[in-house]
Amino acid sequence: MSCDLVREQLADYSAGFLEDADRGRVEAHLGACDMCRAHLAELRALDRLMAGDRTTAPQSLVLRVMDGVGPASVRPRHAWVYLLDDLGPALAAMVLLPAILLLALREAAAWTSTTHPLDLAALFAQPTTAVAATLGMALVAGVALWFSQQVAGSLARI
Amino acid sequence: MSLGTSVSTPVTTGANGEGALVARARGGDPRAFEVLVRTHKDSVVNVARRIVGDSDAAQDVAQDAFIKAYRELRRFRGRSSFATWMYGITVNEARMHLRSQRRRQARWEKQAALEAHPAGAERPDASAEPLLALLQELPEKHRVALSLFYLQELSLAEIAQAAGAPEGTVKAWLSRGREQLRQLARERGLL
């Protein structure tokens, strides 16, 4: 393994990001190469310097935050408000998507010359409309799944 | 709300204690949120400080981040720790701060040119802190990843979550960022 290749991996090595095989190869090289060991020592020294360069936030920050939070925004909220917050977008999607799908099916019905928008047999008789209908139904199924997860998540939180 | 309210209810800030605090804060208990702020303020300020390169500005960023977090608490699902979620908000606030700083800088340079002052003559001094100054020479994305990395408390997955990028990308940012930083530190005699 060349020094260039090892040095490309030294940052990942010292951070513990390398897989076992790569780590073994780097360690074998380090055992025999003073230059790469010096490079690694510099990286570690840098990490110690950077991690040690910390500041302590003053207590006044807490006061500023709590002042900024303000009493108006801390009014307790009822569980149903959270539920509505969570489910608002999902409800909108559940109403809009089937409506869009129905409109699309009507157009497809006109195109396939069937009399009813939900004449699925006619719809699936043609490859193009069959693909479109399948995608549309998958989309609605996906939204329904998402909606049920939102409901479950919301109920778990309130 | 009175400033500097003390926390009357004994609380713990371990994993379960923190979950209870978040639930109480979400329910409108500002004292619970105050405990969260006290617990995480140092780490949040340090992340912001390394990204924006200035300790005073970092406190403003941290303040905005905590206030935003309080207002967005209902969106916190508990899929990550509160700290990781909070760092994500801090990174976004720090990026917004840098954007507005760049806009101010551009306006200032334009004004200086109009008034025939040599560009940079009245520009605020670069950070007097050499390590912070080094970080500011890196691309913003590398700086964000390193700011989270040097907290020394986050896994790669958590750093990626807070930075809002895939793990592999963040790993590459960290690798390149640390190598660039090593070279810069060497050039400046800091190593």
For residue A69, give the nearest of B67, B175, B179 by CB distance: B67
End-to-end CA distance of chain B: 49
CATH number of the domain at B15-187, please? 1.10.1740.10
Cβ separation of A50 and B181 shorter than 8 Å?
A: yes
Question: Residue A63 domain-assigned?
Answer: no
Question: Residue A101 domain-assigned?
Answer: yes
Cβ separation of A57 and B66 shorter than 8 Å?
A: no
Question: Residue A61 domain-assigned?
Answer: no
Q: Are residue A96 and residue A148 in the same domain, yes or no? A: yes
CB-based burial, B49-82: b 16+ in 10 Å, e otherwise: bbbbbbbebbbbbbbbbbbbbbeebeebeeebbb
Domain that holds residue A92: 77-157
pLDDT in tens, A76-101: 556 666 666 667 777 787 788 878 87
Return mean pLDDT, chain B: 86
What DSSP line would sit under B8-55, residue for residue?
A: -S----SHHHHHHHHHHHHTT-HHHHHHHHHHHHHHHHHHHHHHHS-H
CB-based burial, A42-76: b 16+ in 10 Å, e otherwise: bbeebbebbeebeeebeeebbbbbbeebeeeebee
List phi, psi (to 5°) of A75.
-60, 130
CA distance B191 to B186: 5
| Region B26-46 average pLDDT | 93
Q: Are residue A90 and residue A146 in the same domain, yes or no? A: yes
> pLDDT higher for B14 or A21?
A21
Q: Is the pLDDT of residue A155 over 60?
A: yes
pLDDT in tens, B57-113: 999 999 999 999 999 998 888 889 999 999 999 999 999 999 999 888 888 888 887
Domain definitions of chain B by residue range: 15-187
Distance from CA of A44 to the nearest CA of B (A): 10
The nearest alpha carbon in chain B to A152 belongs to: B77
What DSSP line would sit under B124-184, residue for residue?
A: PPPPSSHHHHHHTTS-HHHHHHHHHHTTS---HHHHHHHHTS-HHHHHHHHHHHHHHHHHH
Q: Are residue A95 and residue A26 in the same domain, yes or no? A: no
Structure tokens at B9: 């209810």
Cβ separation of B62 and A61 shorter than 8 Å?
A: yes
CA distance B76 to B67: 14
Q: Is the ipTM of this complex over 0.85?
A: no
Are the C-beta atoms of residues A68 and B63 closer than 8 Å to each other?
Answer: yes
Q: How many domains does chain A have?
A: 2
Q: Among B76, B52, B28, which residue's Cα sits nearest to residue B140?
A: B52
Q: Are residue A47 and residue A83 in the same domain, yes or no? A: no
Cβ contacts of B187 on chain A, cutoff 8 Å: none
Are the C-beta atoms of residues B94 and B61 closer than 8 Å to each other?
Answer: yes
Q: Is the pLDDT of residue B175 over 60?
A: yes
CA distance B95 to B101: 10
Q: Are residue A39 and residue A103 in the same domain, yes or no? A: no
**Most confident stretch, A71-75, A90-94, B175-179:** B175-179
> pLDDT higher for A112 or A22?
A22
DSSP B6: P
Cβ separation of B63 and A74 shorter than 8 Å?
A: no
Distance from CA of A89 to the nearest CA of B (A): 13
Cβ of residue A55 closer than 8 Å to a chain B Cβ: yes
CA distance A34 to A26: 13
Cβ of B145: how many Cβ atoms within 10 Å? 29
Q: Among A124, A121, A142, which residue's Cα sits nearest to residue A132?
A: A124
Q: Are residue A85 and residue A128 in the same domain, yes or no? A: yes
